[in-house]
A and B are shown apart, each in its own frame.
Chain A
Amino acid sequence: MNEQKRIEIEADRILRLFSNSGAQIVQPDVLQRADTLLDLYGEDIRARAYVTSDPFNGEMMLRPDFTVPIVKTHMTGETGNETARYAYCGKVFRRQEKNSERASEYLQVGYEIFDRTDVIKSDTDVFCIVKKALGDLPLRVATGDIGILMTAVSSLKTTSSRQKALLRHLWRPQRFLAILEKFTNEVSLSTERFDGFQAEKSFANQAKEIGLRSKSEIIERIENLLQDSKEAPISTTELEVINSLLNIGDKCPQALIKLKDLLPDMPALGSAIEKFEKRLSALDNADVDLSSIDFEASYGRTSMEYYDGFVFGFYSENHINLPPIATGGRYDALTKHIGKGREIPAVGGVVRPDLIIQSKGFEDND
């Protein structure tokens, strides 16, 4: 049997598994409006997605994933109920600017849950069904929880504008650390240049006012910076908690112990850690062997920007250089962003049947 046929059979098997567990099968369009995706991901999406143009509809993109179109359809209420489970199977398209060995189109089979009643159960359901789809392949499983990181940042004893700046760059680890470092220093070096700033005088010798960004926006930013420079720095204790948190990488049970060790210095982490612990026991009840699963506090930070809770990835043990065979996570904020006021907790995962076949291929050769 040729490889393409094997991939299709595998995809079909997984889609059936997903739909048999109560999910409705959906088929989003291949062409998606570029503006939604650009607004969501920013310019980086252009490096990853194929952009086409259409004289009537403007820029369109070949879908780089299914999650966004499904959230869009769900949030406009087209599918009826607020609570829903969806399954899908189809190709996604990814430009590979640098890594030309990676596939630029491949099948994804996915499962998404929109449900506000029991988020821990939804997390566990998605994880377990993806795990089941992968059968007995030898896999390394990595998990994370962006929610813990967000809680830690939101509980820093500092201004809300500093918290906001840190949260905004949670997905850009280098920038995040640079900002954190800046906020930990006593004097804000970046405002020395505004000493003696006076809205009227300081502009006097400067060039003409051009463009959409106005003088009042500039004044407002300078005043905010001057105000911010008077704030007390983030304490070194809190800085250390964030650093230790970011460095946690262990099997789940040990990771839980390490997380709890942070509590005395940052009690506000309590509720997030409790949620993590509940998820662990739900996974344990579902017969998941926690001692074999990694937890990395930073996991999922460099992927697409919408995950904000539980995240996971399954990696081939046969062939460690393969991209993850399955990935997934929680994206509550995305539903709010796309839902324009409406929101619902949501979590999902996708499997790549082509990588299952490849991974099995390596097994056969051994």
Chain B
Amino acid sequence: MIKLGVPSKGRLMEETFSWFASRGVHLKRTESKREYAGYVKGVQGIELTLLSAGEIPTELNEGRIHFGVTGSDLVCEKLPNWDQNLEIVKSLGFGFADLVLSVPRFWIDVDTLDDFDSAAEAFREKHGFRLRIATKYHYLVREFLKSAGVADYQLVDSQGATEGTVKNETAEAIADITSTGETLKANHLKILTDGLIHKSEATLFKSKSAFFRKEQVNAESKFLAHILSD
């Protein structure tokens, strides 16, 4: 069997299911909604594996699944050299989200990274510590700020409700995923004009490190014929 890893819950799972369904590959969960198990109809030799979206990159990298659907942001964050063991089969056209750097909207002196850098310098001088950016995308944010030459900041880990960290005074700025910008707005934040760190989209990846036996190669080509039909 060829293992296909798909996010185990939420909109990303639903949209993935309907994307495959419209191409004749029907992914089904077992009757119990609580059990993380499923099966595939419409094409032979494919096994459905439901996983946390954040674990799919590593599973692909290790070759424990042959194909996987997840956000490109998670792949780039978790696997700096992702193209060594992964290749993109197709961008799926949903799950669009931007990883952006945001600051309080009332910071009327900060619109660009240039401003951000100089505000960070003044902040450090005044408060005695580096300006804090809350994020769970440590690698992507650090690389981005490094190439932009921003100094005097520090990253603090935030695995959820990141938009609230500024008000709670555990961070001064945030770097998080946004699709409409509504949550940022509701939390009195604004995106820096040049603060786009990564454009993410739900993507089907193939593992280059997973082993394909002969019968699996046949199943693979039938599977790909379905999903690459449009």
In the complex, the answer to whether B149 meets A175 with C-beta atoms within 8 Å is yes
In the complex, the answer to whether A213 meets B123 with C-beta atoms within 8 Å is yes
For this complex, 15 residue pairs linking A to B, each with C-beta atoms less than 8 Å apart, are A38-B130, A46-B142, A46-B155, A47-B139, A97-B80, A175-B148, A175-B149, A178-B149, A190-B114, A206-B106, A208-B105, A211-B167, A215-B106, A218-B109, A221-B109
With beta carbons under 8 angstroms apart, the residue of A44, A176, A193 that contacts B146 is A44
- The residue on B at minimum CB distance from A194 is B109
**Contacts A42-B154, A211-B169, A212-B172 given: A169-B149 contact, CB under 8 Å?**
yes
In the complex, the answer to whether A98 meets B151 with C-beta atoms within 8 Å is no
In the complex, the answer to whether B81 meets A100 with C-beta atoms within 8 Å is yes
Asked whether A13 is an interface residue with its Cβ less than 8 Å from the other chain, the reply is: no
Asked whether B59 is an interface residue with its Cβ less than 8 Å from the other chain, the reply is: no
In the complex, the answer to whether B104 meets A207 with C-beta atoms within 8 Å is yes
**Contacts A193-B111, A206-B105, A211-B167 given: A165-B118 contact, CB under 8 Å?**
yes
In the complex, the answer to whether A217 meets B111 with C-beta atoms within 8 Å is no
**Contacts A43-B145, A165-B118, A168-B121 given: A210-B80 contact, CB under 8 Å?**
no
- The residue on A at minimum CB distance from B171 is A211
Given contact pairs A38-B130, A39-B130, A175-B148, a sample of 11 additional A-B residue pairs in the complex whose CB atoms are under 8 Å apart: A43-B142, A43-B154, A44-B146, A98-B80, A98-B81, A168-B151, A194-B109, A206-B105, A208-B105, A210-B166, A213-B172
- The residue on A at minimum CB distance from B126 is A217
In the complex, the answer to whether B127 meets A43 with C-beta atoms within 8 Å is no
Residues of B within 8 A of A169 (CB): 149, 151
In the complex, the answer to whether A44 meets B106 with C-beta atoms within 8 Å is no
Q: Nearest chain A CB to B113's CB is how many angstroms away?
A: 10
Asked whether A106 is an interface residue with its Cβ less than 8 Å from the other chain, the reply is: no
Residues of B within 8 A of A39 (CB): 129-130
Interface residues of B in 93-135 (CB under 8 A from A): 104-109, 111-112, 114-115, 117-119, 121-123, 126-127, 129-131
Residues of A within 8 A of B154 (CB): 38, 42-43
In the complex, the answer to whether B130 meets A42 with C-beta atoms within 8 Å is yes
Residues of A within 8 A of B205 (CB): none
CA distance A209 to B155 in the complex (A): 22
CA distance A169 to B109 in the complex (A): 21
- The residue on B at minimum CB distance from A219 is B109
In the complex, the answer to whether A172 meets B151 with C-beta atoms within 8 Å is yes
CA distance A42 to B129 in the complex (A): 10
CA distance A213 to B115 in the complex (A): 14
Residues of A within 8 A of B119 (CB): 213, 221
CA distance A39 to B153 in the complex (A): 10
In the complex, the answer to whether B81 meets A221 with C-beta atoms within 8 Å is no
- The residue on A at minimum CB distance from B187 is A210
Asked whether A286 is an interface residue with its Cβ less than 8 Å from the other chain, the reply is: no
Asked whether A202 is an interface residue with its Cβ less than 8 Å from the other chain, the reply is: yes
Residues of B within 8 A of A42 (CB): 130, 151-154
Q: Taking chain A's interface residues, is the majority helix, strand, or loop, or is none over half, making it mixed?
A: helix
Q: Nearest chain A CB to B124's CB is how many angstroms away?
A: 10
CA distance A56 to B176 in the complex (A): 30
CA distance A303 to B137 in the complex (A): 25
In the complex, the answer to whether A207 meets B105 with C-beta atoms within 8 Å is yes
CA distance A172 to B146 in the complex (A): 9
Residues of B within 8 A of A362 (CB): none
Residues of A within 8 A of B118 (CB): 165, 221
Q: Which residues of A contact B (CB under 8 A)?
A: 38-39, 42-44, 46-47, 97-98, 100, 165, 168-169, 172, 174-176, 178, 190, 193-194, 202-203, 206-213, 215, 217-218, 220-222, 225
Q: Nearest chain A CB to B155's CB is how many angstroms away?
A: 6
Asked whether B138 is an interface residue with its Cβ less than 8 Å from the other chain, the reply is: yes
- The residue on A at minimum CB distance from B185 is A207
In the complex, the answer to whether A210 meets B167 with C-beta atoms within 8 Å is yes
In the complex, the answer to whether A211 meets B109 with C-beta atoms within 8 Å is no
Q: Nearest chain A CB to B184's CB is how many angstroms away?
A: 11
CA distance A202 to B143 in the complex (A): 34
In the complex, the answer to whether A202 meets B108 with C-beta atoms within 8 Å is yes
Residues of A within 8 A of B121 (CB): 165, 168
With beta carbons under 8 angstroms apart, the residue of B80, B153, B171, B188 that contacts A207 is B188
Residues of B within 8 A of A210 (CB): 104, 106, 166-167, 188
Q: Nearest chain B CB to A225's CB is how many angstroms away?
A: 7
**Contacts A207-B105, A211-B166 given: A43-B122 contact, CB under 8 Å?**
no
Q: Nearest chain B CB to A239's CB is how many angstroms away?
A: 19
CA distance A350 to B107 in the complex (A): 45
- The residue on A at minimum CB distance from B113 is A175
Residues of A within 8 A of B167 (CB): 210-211
- The residue on B at minimum CB distance from A99 is B81
In the complex, the answer to whether A203 meets B152 with C-beta atoms within 8 Å is no
Residues of A within 8 A of B127 (CB): 212
CA distance A165 to B122 in the complex (A): 11
CA distance A172 to B145 in the complex (A): 11
Q: Nearest chain A CB to B129's CB is how many angstroms away?
A: 8
Most buried by A among B80, B104, B119, B190: B104
CA distance A194 to B115 in the complex (A): 13
In the complex, the answer to whether B108 meets A203 with C-beta atoms within 8 Å is yes
B65-90 CB contact bits vs A (8 Å, 1 = yes)? 00000000000000011000000000
Residues of B within 8 A of A212 (CB): 127, 169, 172
Residues of B within 8 A of A100 (CB): 81
Interface residues of B in 157-188 (CB under 8 A from A): 166-167, 169, 171-172, 188
Residues of B within 8 A of A221 (CB): 109, 118-119, 122
